[in-house]
Amino acid sequence: MAGYSYKAQPYLDAIASGVFASRSVRDWLLAGTPQATSFAGSSALVDEQRSVRWRTKPTKQPFWANYWCGKDKKCLCRPEGSTALESDAIFFLRNGESHVLALHVEFKHPDEPFSFGQPEAYPMRAACFVKTHGQRGTINPHHHWATAIFCGPEAFGDVRLKHFQRIISHDEARRMLPDYPALA
């Protein structure tokens, strides 16, 4: 897993940098989702997220990365038989009515396949975390959720992408996020 995280981290760092620095990036990420209107102009909960995630100690990855449902088969926030237990990134956003949204982000390199149940797990895990955040010491309290995936255009024909509310191509990400690396 460390090898994969190392390869994906520069892209995820660029996404995080945009989310934390720019309201227009946050609005762009939510465009077309059911939450786009109610969370337009939202703020990122950078310090709040860091303090909750690092309550006991800092993680090896950045505080917004690699949220696990549980590193065992007891996690019920996933499809039966899958091992899809982790969101690559979660960003918490607060709107003007003080509602909080958790944006779950998946990153896929070009031609990288999904593992069994991985796309299906994203909305399941996001909905589950809304209900169970109080039982999870590293998850900020939140009322709403959204899912997004960053992938190459070769993935657009995969019917399982319907499990993500927002689909963003690497080319689109590079146009919006100045630090988004070119794909090797």
The pLDDT of 113-131, averaged and rounded, is 86
Rounded to an integer, what distance in angstroms lies between the CA atom of residue 177 and that of residue 9?
15
Is residue 58 one of the residues assigned to a domain? yes
Is residue 36 one of the residues assigned to a domain? yes
Is residue 96 one of the residues assigned to a domain? yes
- The pLDDT of residue 3 is 44
Is residue 181 one of the residues assigned to a domain? no
Residue-averaged pLDDT of the chain: 88
The structure tokens listed for 12 are 């995820």
Cβ density class 121-160: b for 16+ within 10 Å, e for less: bbbbbbebbbeebeebebbbebebbbbbbbbeeebeeeee
Q: Is the pLDDT of residue 169 over 90?
A: yes
Task: Tell me whether residue 103 is exposed, middle or buried, using C-beta atoms within 10 angstroms of its C-beta: 0 to 12, 13 to 18, 19 or more.
Answer: buried
- The pLDDT of residue 20 is 97
Q: Is the pLDDT of residue 16 over 50?
A: yes
Where is mean pLDDT largest: 63-72, 76-85, 164-173? 164-173
Is residue 183 one of the residues assigned to a domain? no
pLDDT bucket at 166, cuts 50 / 70 / 90 = very high
pLDDT bucket at 139, cuts 50 / 70 / 90 = confident
CB 52 within 8 A of CB 78: no
Rounded to an integer, what distance in angstroms lies between the CA atom of residue 68 and that of residue 111?
24
Number of domains in the chain: 1
| Paired sense of beta strands 86-94 and 65-68, if any | antiparallel
Is residue 101 one of the residues assigned to a domain? yes
Is residue 7 one of the residues assigned to a domain? yes
Is residue 163 one of the residues assigned to a domain? yes
Domain that holds residue 121: 2-176
The pLDDT of 23-45, averaged and rounded, is 98
Q: Is the pLDDT of residue 155 over 60?
A: yes
